[in-house]
A and B are shown apart, each in its own frame.
Chain A
Amino acid sequence: GENVEQHPSTLSVQEGDSAVIKCTYSDSASNYFPWYKQELGKGPQLIIDIRSNVGEKKDQRIAVTLNKTAKHFSLHITETQPEDSAVYFCAANDPGYSSASKIIFGSGTRLSIRP
């Protein structure tokens, strides 16, 4: 089955600087890669996703890149703000054999924005 590795586990950046989180996946059949933000005591909230037919996607200050050959994908947050502080999870779908595609999560990155 799919395995997703994520690093770093913690990241501290100065407000206004950029943050980059990197992930790798193992199953070449995976074709959907969402990123979730989780604030304390809340459920994962989708912030951006990318499918394997594109290499890059951007939404305002957030961008995600995908390298299918190397099986890695990254999240880039520019001009970071205090409200960006949270735990970020990368994920990949595991198409498997079922009719519903489960999501396999990375271990998470705790991002802290220093004022």
Chain B
Amino acid sequence: EPEVTQTPSHQVTQMGQEVILRCVPISNHLYFYWYRQILGQKVEFLVSFYNNEISEKSEIFDDQFSVERPDGSNFTLKIRSTKLEDSAMYFCASSEEATDTQYFGPGTRLTVL
């Protein structure tokens, strides 16, 4: 069964450094998402992406964040200058249609020291 994959599974970085989290959505899906889950809290929407542009972003997704689909298979989330409060699990998701089921990847645990 097709699945969303994410790399790395765990990323440790120093405050102020840039990180890039990578995702490979399910191949025939057209809508891509990033969500975040701070330890012990609910999953929060960050951004949605369709047709090579951002569809919607949350208040969390400020100028330090960016997304890109550099080729036909990858979808990346970049945090330009990490803060301590960016430490969380980051989940990528994809769906075939706008109102269709979203399938989540296994997540990347980001630890900012």
Contact = CB atoms under 8 A, between A and B. Distances in A.
Contacts of A105: 42-44
B111 interface: no
A46 B101 contact: yes
Given A44-B91, A46-B103, A99 B42 contact: no
**Chain A interface size range:** 20 to 34
Interface string B13-48: 000000000000000000101010000011111001
Nearest to B49: A100
B99 A31 contact: yes
A89 B43 contact: yes
Given A98-B48, A99-B55, A36 B104 contact: yes
Interface string A27-47: 000011010100000111110
Given A100-B48, A105-B43, A49 B101 contact: yes
Contact of B33 (A34, A89, A99, A102): A102
B49 A34 contact: no
A42 B106 contact: yes
Contacts of A98: 48, 55-56
B42 A44 contact: no
B48 A43 contact: no
B45 A103 contact: yes
Residue with the highest number of chain B CB atoms closer than 10 Å, among A31, A43, A106: A43
Interface of B: 4, 31, 33, 35, 41-45, 48-51, 55-56, 91, 93, 95, 98-99, 101-107
